[in-house]
Amino acid sequence: MERRNAWKTYTQEQLKELDQINDRYKVCLDEGKTERECIRLTVKEIEKQGYRNLNDIKGSLKTGDKVYAVCMGKSIAMFRIGKEPLENGMNILGAHIDSPRIDVKQNPLYENEELAYLDTHYYGGIKKYQWVTLPLAMHGVVAKKDGSIVEISIGEDAEDPVLYITDLLIHLSGKQLQKKAAEVIEGEMLDILIGSRPLAELPDDSKKDAVKQNVLKILNEKYGIEEEDFLSAELEIVPAGKARDCGLDRSMIAAYGQDDRVCAYTSLAAMLEMEETPKRTGCCLLVDKEEIGSVGATGMQSRFFENSVAELLDGMGCYSELALRRALRNSSMLSSDVSAGYDPAYGEAFEKKNAAYLGRGIVLNKFTGARGKSGSNDANAEYVARVRRIFDDHNVAFQTAELGKVDFGGGGTIAYIAALYGMEVIDSGVAVLSMHAPWEVTSKADVYEAYKAYKAFLLDA
Ligand code: MN
Ligand code: MN
């Protein structure tokens, strides 16, 4: 049961569309490197297309309306109200917009031997040794006591300075290289080098930590922030630089944060390109905190989504507890998250018949989990059949896979949380090489097929 390579099937016209989608995707990757940036970008795009904030709406909602709700600037639910009653359920595309990275601690700034650093705590699952000796950027916000928010983005413009995490030179690494890979770089060693120049004009009695003081002076001049403001900041350290075409044939994309922005972007694009008012209400849900267990107010486990659907029903004049439960239970969802792409260099980690391959289209994961499917949403066979039919009807290239060989590891997504409502949900997404590395690789054909798949699903599920 081998699946075909999608590249072999494209017409000139399709190749043109494929390039357009991928060019827009790269721009979005560059502009949305954090969950907050993704939400800002999304709201800007969808408002251009007539989506209105549920909070601002006076009067009632009706078929054809486009609305959205944002939770704390980090997750969003958008709806295109369909012709059928909401109680009949929605077609939902869900993806996450947080990615593994390195977060700055609340009391981060220190100086050691005239070098200034920011102390950090990594976010999500990373191989720590991959994050050293790279140009890094800092994105985020500083919330000040007076209620103002300072946006920070340093390291992306060609003129910007970048930040850096050091590693030991090879010449002195005899002992380090004997360590296990998990211990070569430990969590507390991921501190960010941010300065080495002492503040010159200090009086003699306060020359201590002059490099740190100079960094503080720069932060104060540029952003109006003081050291205590770090206490209420969310600063994320990510690889600096733009998404790039990868391969001499330009068939792939190398970029930071493709898990899971590749699914978020394609879901959003599909949502925005729904031409007519759909039969069933279409929904695109982009959530935060998946990489740390979907926790918190902005993660999938929060009531944000459920509350938004309740507001939607209320706006349509048909809210009741039962209507809400029915709307959720009768929904169909693609929980969209990336899959492990088969990597010949590490072939022993995969079972070849049930692996996802770059270029063979969107991946359906009937289940995820680890050690005996533990923690998995195991989609119903009947639902898998329905999704297969939709994809085949719309000529979407798809493949099925599981994450590596049995008992080699595992991973989770947001599917099991949506399944709590009793709705049909299956994991689907794009295969990625070097998932969770600073630069991840996807196939442009798979990006295109995911976009096609999500469009088909919104229309026909
Ligand atoms: Mn993911
Ligand atoms: Mn992930």
Mean pLDDT of 103-117: 98
Distance from residue 85's CA to the centre of ligand 1 (Å): 32
Measured from the alpha carbon of residue 260, the closest ligand is 1
Residue 261: pLDDT band with limits 50, 70, 90: very high
> What is the model's pLDDT at position 197?
96
DSSP code at position 241: S
Distance from residue 266's CA to the centre of ligand 1 (Å): 14
Mean pLDDT of 206-230: 94
Distance from residue 456's CA to the centre of ligand 2 (Å): 25
> What is the model's pLDDT at position 108?
98
Measured from the alpha carbon of residue 437, the closest ligand is 2
Mean pLDDT of 153-168: 97
Measured from the alpha carbon of residue 337, the closest ligand is 1
Distance from residue 97's CA to the centre of ligand 2 (Å): 10
Distance from residue 324's CA to the centre of ligand 2 (Å): 30
122 phi and psi angles, rounded to 5 deg: -65, 160
Measured from the alpha carbon of residue 291, the closest ligand is 2
Which residues contact residue 186 at a Cβ distance below 8 angstroms, ignoring those fewer than 6 apart? 128
Please give the C-alpha separations between residue 269 and each of 18, 165, 272, 301, in angstroms, as whole numbers: 13, 36, 5, 25
Distance from residue 415's CA to the centre of ligand 1 (Å): 11
Distance from residue 291's CA to the centre of ligand 1 (Å): 7
Distance from residue 78's CA to the centre of ligand 1 (Å): 20
Residue pLDDT, tens place only, 280-337: 999 999 999 999 999 999 999 999 999 999 999 999 999 999 999 999 999 999 999 9
Residue pLDDT, tens place only, 266-280: 999 999 999 899 999
Distance from residue 425's CA to the centre of ligand 2 (Å): 18
Q: What is the pTM of this model?
A: 0.96
Mean pLDDT of 106-110: 98
Residue pLDDT, tens place only, 48-67: 999 999 999 988 999 999 99
- Quick check: 289 and 86 in contact, CB under 8 A? no
Mean pLDDT of 213-233: 97
Residue pLDDT, tens place only, 63-84: 999 999 999 999 999 999 999 9
Distance from residue 194's CA to the centre of ligand 2 (Å): 28
pLDDT of residue 204 exceeding 70 = no
Distance from residue 412's CA to the centre of ligand 1 (Å): 8
- List of long-range contacts for 275-278, beta carbons under 8 Å, 24+ apart: 277/63, 277/64, 277/80, 277/81, 277/82, 277/83, 278/80, 278/82, 278/83, 278/91, 278/458, 278/459
Q: Specify the DSSP element, H or E, that contains 399.
A: strand 398-400
Distance from residue 385's CA to the centre of ligand 1 (Å): 24
> What is the model's pLDDT at position 375?
85
What average pLDDT does the chain have? 96
Distance from residue 364's CA to the centre of ligand 1 (Å): 14
> What is the model's pLDDT at position 195?
98
> What is the model's pLDDT at position 206?
67
Distance from residue 167's CA to the centre of ligand 2 (Å): 25
Distance from residue 399's CA to the centre of ligand 2 (Å): 20
> What is the model's pLDDT at position 411?
81
Token representation of residue 86? 């909401």
Distance from residue 402's CA to the centre of ligand 2 (Å): 15
pLDDT of residue 203 exceeding 80 = no
Half-sphere exposure of 176 (CA within 13 A, CB side): 11
Distance from residue 331's CA to the centre of ligand 2 (Å): 25
3-state helix, strand, coil in the chain (%, to 5): 35, 25, 40
Q: State percent of the chain over pLDDT 70.
A: 99
Q: Ligand 2 being an ion, which residues bring their Cβ within 5 A of it? A: 259
Distance from residue 413's CA to the centre of ligand 1 (Å): 6
Distance from residue 337's CA to the centre of ligand 1 (Å): 5
Token representation of residue 110? 């220190």
Q: State percent of the chain over pLDDT 90.
A: 92
Distance from residue 337's CA to the centre of ligand 2 (Å): 8
pLDDT of residue 21 exceeding 80 = yes
Q: Specify the DSSP element, H or E, that contains 381.
A: helix 381-393
> What is the model's pLDDT at position 413?
87
Mean pLDDT of 12-28: 98
Measured from the alpha carbon of residue 95, the closest ligand is 1
> What is the model's pLDDT at position 2?
82
Distance from residue 213's CA to the centre of ligand 2 (Å): 37
Residue 216: pLDDT band with limits 50, 70, 90: very high
pLDDT of residue 205 exceeding 70 = no
- Quick check: 236 and 225 in contact, CB under 8 A? no
Residue 368: pLDDT band with limits 50, 70, 90: confident
Total count of residues recorded for the chain: 461
Residue pLDDT, tens place only, 33-42: 999 999 999 9
